[in-house]
Amino acid sequence: MLNEKIGKVLVVDDDEDILTALRLLLKPHVEFVHTERNPDNIPARMREVDYQVILLDMNFSKDATTGKEGFTWLDRILSIDPSAVVILITAYGDIDTAVRAIKEGAIDFVLKPWQNEKLLATVNAALRLHASRAEVAQLKDRQKVLSADLEQNFQEIIGHSEPMKRVFETIEKVAKTDANVLILGENGTGKELIARAIHRNSLRSNEVFISVDMGAISDSIFESEMFGHVRGAYTDAKSDRPGRFEIASKGSLFLDEIGNLSMAVQAKLLTTLETRRVIRMGSNQPRNFDIRLICATNMSIHEMVAKREFRQDLLYRINTVEIQLPPLRDRREDIPLLVQYYLDHYTKKYKKGGLSVGQGALRKLERYNWPGNVRELKHALERAVIMTESKVLQPGDFFFSMHEEGGSEGIELDSFNLEEVERSVILKAIRKHTGNISRAADELGLTRTSLYRRIEKYGL
């Protein structure tokens, strides 16, 4: 007998009497039992619930006795979840079939009619095996994290690709110096994270890190914000106020989006960096500062210099060391790590424990070009976690605007191929209902299960 009510069990058999018998037998001993007559519904069931044990019949077609269907579905189940614990059940078994079942991934083989006590013992052993596997996997994950913490100086920056390794190597070399650093990269690549990592690993790590978005500072307020002002310097100057250079003194000053500065402001910034002094607005008293300067931009700053849109002498001043951050499309091998990191974060934030990302969804995320880079991936994970009604995120939980996928608002068909038409209609319905599979299914006249099957078929 099972000692306690643990585990979720799925029983798949085309005989309603068998399903009823197993449900009545197992119900007093496990958390809950789901039964299913149609094996085609197995993938949808597995998306909705994380089953600890699946009892799977081997023959579903009338008069079938070979067990071929059972092995086909065993392979399908393990492709969906390689850690699934499956027990095959059949009325037509022999030693060879049992041996093959174990070789192909089943953990046991039960003959009909079964002995109740023996079947309960088998299910109990399967539940314990699942729990042991989960515990081992958890310990391995913890060990990986601990090892990474010990070996990785920049834990908050996710990536193990070659481009990111080169970034980490540069940070290690430059961080302990006071050299000015220029970080180049597209929007959403994590330029401020890199800047903070440089500061945190520098000799100034115990001092302040001041971040300034230069794109948000107009020419008219540049001097007040960066150099400070004294009381009465202008109408609203009610008291003396230090600028960002003074505030950051002894620490690091991060000037983000420096490519947005006008030529006039660039000249003022260059003079300040050369003299290492500022004069507050309304004053004539120079004030010294001591900063580690880190700048960043998403613009092609070297092209700007060639076009005389950015001062060459200022570029020389700010980029003693230059770090080029790769876009996410150039380090796709980091996507699974980023997905897991943000999935863990948002499942905790929104109290949706037990969520995972299906392989189809992961493949979709790996294929997408991510024009918004890591920031866009982060938002996509947050949206999917909020909107999903399933335990496993599927391709349909991640949708991108027609512009991002190169389409248009309407359905434009390049052919009259029925599968292409169906794919386009399904994609539009999912987008229309912002990823809500139930509403999309209703509009399409499908069940959720049928829609999930089509989503999986088309890799949506």
More confident position, 413 or 303: 303
The boundaries of the domain holding residue 59 are: 8-142
More confident position, 314 or 420: 314
- Asked whether residue 322 falls in the same domain as residue 343, the answer is no
Cα–Cα distance list, 21 to 65, 127, 300 (Å): 21, 19, 70
pLDDT at residue 401, rounded to an integer:
56
Residues 6+ apart with CB under 8 A from 20: 35
Q: Does any domain span residue 297? A: yes
- Asked whether residue 310 falls in the same domain as residue 361, the answer is no
pLDDT at residue 432, rounded to an integer:
76
Residues 6+ apart with CB under 8 A from 351: none
Closest by alpha carbon to 398, among 353, 371, 435? 435
Confidence of residue 54 (pLDDT cuts 50, 70, 90): very high
pLDDT at residue 402, rounded to an integer:
43
Q: Give the position of tokens 């913890």.
A: 142
pLDDT at residue 446, rounded to an integer:
79
Q: Does any domain span residue 378? A: yes
Q: Give the percent of the chain with pLDDT over 90.
A: 53
Highest mean pLDDT among 313-322, 348-357, 423-432: 313-322
pLDDT at residue 148, rounded to an integer:
42
Q: Which of 326, 361, 379 is the last residue of a domain?
A: 326
pLDDT at residue 144, rounded to an integer:
46
More confident position, 24 or 403: 24
Q: Does any domain span residue 249? A: yes
Q: What is the CATH number of the domain that holds 280?
A: 3.40.50.300
Q: pLDDT tens digit string along 96-146?
A: 777 888 888 898 988 888 999 999 999 999 998 888 887 776 555 444 434
pLDDT at 179 over 90: yes
Do the Cβ atoms of 27 and 5 come closer than 8 Å? Answer: no
Q: Does any domain span residue 270? A: yes
DSSP secondary structure string, 140-205?
A: HHHHHHHHHHHH-S-TTS---SHHHHHHHHHHHHHHTS---EEEE--TTS-HHHHHHHHHHTSTTT
- Asked whether residue 403 falls in the same domain as residue 357, the answer is yes
Q: Which of 326, 352, 384 is the last residue of a domain?
A: 326
- Over range 253-264, report the average pLDDT: 94
- Over range 44-50, report the average pLDDT: 87
Closest by alpha carbon to 190, among 175, 171, 218, 172? 171
Q: Does any domain span residue 331? A: no
Read off the tokens for 365: 């995320």
- Asked whether residue 306 falls in the same domain as residue 254, the answer is yes
- Asked whether residue 175 falls in the same domain as residue 131, the answer is no
* Partner residues linked to 211 by β-bridges: 254
Cα 66 from Cα 62, distance rounded (Å)? 11
pLDDT at 410 over 70: no
Q: pLDDT tens digit string along 218-251?
A: 898 999 999 998 888 888 777 788 899 999 999 9
Q: Where are the alpha helices (DSSP H) in 236-356?
A: 244-247, 263-275, 301-306, 312-318, 335-349
Q: Give the percent of the chain with pLDDT over 70.
A: 90
- Asked whether residue 294 falls in the same domain as residue 380, the answer is no
Q: Does any domain span residue 154? A: no
Cα 14 from Cα 37, distance rounded (Å)? 4
pTM (predicted TM-score)? 0.57
pLDDT at residue 63, rounded to an integer:
65
- Asked whether residue 377 falls in the same domain as residue 428, the answer is yes
pLDDT at 61 over 60: yes
Q: What is the CATH number of the domain that holds 116?
A: 3.40.50.2300
- Asked whether residue 261 falls in the same domain as residue 379, the answer is no
Range in 74-83, 182-191, 260-269 the model is least confident about: 74-83
Amino acid occupying residue 292: R
Do the Cβ atoms of 328 and 365 come closer than 8 Å? Answer: no
More confident position, 339 or 425: 339
Read off the tokens for 285: 């008293």
- Asked whether residue 196 falls in the same domain as residue 318, the answer is yes
Q: Does any domain span residue 403? A: yes
Q: Which of 95, 111, 142 is the last residue of a domain?
A: 142
Q: Does any domain span residue 101? A: yes
pLDDT at residue 4, rounded to an integer:
57
Total number of domains in the chain? 3
pLDDT at residue 346, rounded to an integer:
93
More confident position, 413 or 302: 302
pLDDT at residue 415, rounded to an integer:
53
Confidence of residue 21 (pLDDT cuts 50, 70, 90): very high
pLDDT at 217 over 60: yes
- Asked whether residue 168 falls in the same domain as residue 309, the answer is yes
- Asked whether residue 172 falls in the same domain as residue 299, the answer is yes
Confidence of residue 320 (pLDDT cuts 50, 70, 90): very high
The mean of the pLDDT values for the chain is: 85
- Asked whether residue 169 falls in the same domain as residue 316, the answer is yes
Q: What is the CATH number of the domain that holds 369?
A: 1.10.8.60
